[in-house]
Structure 1
Amino acid sequence: MPYVLTPFNPDSRYQGQVKTELNLANTNFSILGQAFMNNDPATQPILRAVYISNSAPSSPVADMLWYDTSSNLLKVYDGKNWIVINDLTNVNNSITSLSSQIDTIKSAFINKDPSQPILRAVYIGSSAPSNPVADMLWYDTSSNLLKLYDGSNWQAINDVSSLKSQINTLNSAFFSNDPTKTILRATYIGNTAPSNPVAGTTWLDTSQSTPTLKVYDGSNWQAISGGSSSSSNATTLDGYSASQTPTKNTIPVSKDDGKLDPKWLNIYAVIPYWRVSIDETSGSRSDPTSFTVSRQFKYISNGTILWYMKGWGTWSTLWEMKINCSSATSVSGKVGYIDDNVYIYLNGTQIASYTNTGFKNQSFTLNLSQGNNLIQIVHNSSGGGEVALDIEIDFDFNSMTFIPL
């Protein structure tokens, strides 16, 4: 029961009032102690400063404090719920500061801007990060290169130690005059032979007033030309006599055994010529693909055709030459006299035709492409027993190569 205050009545006996008050006080102190022990603020009339327990007190009243030992948090009852008590001002300031730092870090990652307070280990992108600082790394996805900022420029990072080693080896090969190194110069020049030569090494010997070009055959240095040796002591290179006293208007083409070397015969095989095919069947031809070849021969020429035959009948003649060009070029040609008809083809396509006997004096152009080109000229006669053909083509075999058919 709650403690009931009874006002002091001076008209009543003092002793009786004191006894009554003491009895009531003892009863109320007992109730007060019970309230502390029961931890029941709803039915007991005492509110402690703070209730301490791992579970909330039953029947709480507004503004009651409870220290929750399960979470180590101080809580206040607002009449409906237990609210955790913190210094909300400091908490709000901390949250605001933390949010600002998170935004700054996020901006640094997204903007690739090293002036922000976060630096990633390597920036990755097709364009360089803005405002770089020295020693920053950037992987350039446009060139697949890792680059380092030296304070002024982005420098690509490579295996410089390997590159340095290769450069040193290359320099050593050049300056040591040693052909066993990884680099062989075309020709060594000096008054002494290069050390450690290998077969095929060439050396221009400048020890005499007239330099001598020499080649190493694997054992000795052989003079290629020049020198002061006598004709009786001439050197021999690859089976050929290298006379030191050549005779005017002669070419030493024989081997030491006196036989003509087949290599010289091959030279004549590349002299330009027209391959001439004759179709002796009746009917004049105008298309090279319609020929029935009865016989062939070679007509030595650098492009010009001067041809006259009597008693030819209605036969047709196909003139063919193959030319290789290092680059596309144009060649001019001219048709003089014909008897009877001429059809000119380049790589299977007709580019010009001239019909009827007589002087034509007409020009044409062969637009040669890079690589091989096949020139074909079909010449036919409609009868009468004579044929004639006068064509000039200006092939420049200094810049073109004749390909035998």
Structure 2
Amino acid sequence: MAKMLNFLRSSHYGFYSRNTRRFSHSTLVYSEEVKCAKTENKPIVALESTIITHGMPYPQNVETALEVENIIREQGAVPATIAILKGQLHIGLTKPQVESLGKQKGVIKTSRRDLAFVVADKLNGATTVAGTIIAAELADIPVFVTGGIGGVHRDGENTMDVSADLTELSRSKTLVVCSGVKSILDIGKTLEYLETHGVTVCAFGDSKEFPSFYTRRSGFEAPYNVIDATHAARVMKAARDLHLSSGIVVAVPICEKDAMNDKVIEEAIEHALREANQRGIRGKEITPYLLAAVSVATGGASLGANIALIKNNAKVGADIAIQYQKLRNTFSSEQGLKKGSGNKPRFHVPSRNMHTTPRGLIKENGTQLERGDVLVIGGANVDRTYRISEEKIQAHKTISAPSKQSCF
């Protein structure tokens, strides 16, 4: 067993962590703060980095990123801002790294399609919602906080412009805390897309009203609502217990005092959309362009609302991460008590002398064993080679290296 663990730790696949019960990928670089949080089983909240490079101007981008991190710490969780620096996927950034990202030009907006290229060419990349979800899954961070997710663009039925954020949500287990879909998008079609792909969408609070980023109401309802962080954590726990392998969106409405006037923001968006169309701005460049244009059209009011809603989302996301960690700890404790209750663990144990009885039990050397869970500890291939000598045939067994990694 010791040799097997050493093999796994030294393997190029990664190193085995007792705390995370999974393999840590060699492509991930953890900050000291996140590394300690994992060791101590503290709740961690993932944060994207495009908000720093493409979402806001300097210095508001850096100030907001650092303030959001501090809000999460004050709530009792650990922030993990995610970005690619010189081809390495960083889980958690230092203050100088955040500052550097905020000032740099030419940082690549990195979604799923861009990740391999940015890493291979050792470039700097800021992760989108989709890119951050992928990194959070690799790092086993269940909760991710952002401002607003991408979606189906207006006139998307003709342009086929649909954000990769939605696709990623459909194949991840991450819970994403946001203020709904960015107002520049088609909210109704986005909700339909999420429903089709099995993503659980919940409004946060007493109402099912789905928020519209800068405003509290969109005219659409979410299928469900979670009344508080504990409720949201229970939904995530249930989804993981069921192995649904699809994400959860918790849409938090912007605070009333920070919300914008619906008519003002819609007029600004329509004007920005016309300008973008005239200039031929499309693809991944359109969202940052529209956000900047709306900020100018509203005299900076939309930027203030954007900052306010992200800070509020950070509080909610941290609370959900904390409550989910409590649920996990409670479950682990209960499992530990069951194991220590004096009942012997029941495994399927292969043996030549073992056979199945009529009652479905396994019998070995006269002793009946109940059927139970299967425990797989490695595996080996056995090859036989034969050599002919003058007097007899000698059979030699050669046991190869384990063909499967052990599960513990």
Shorter-normalised TM range = under 0.3
Q: TM-score, with normalisation over the residues of structure 1?
A: 0.20
Q: TM-score, with normalisation over the residues of structure 2?
A: 0.20
Choose 1 or 2 for highest CA Rg. 1
Task: For CA contacts below 8 A with separation 6 or more, give which structure has more relative contact order.
Answer: 2
Higher helix proportion: 2
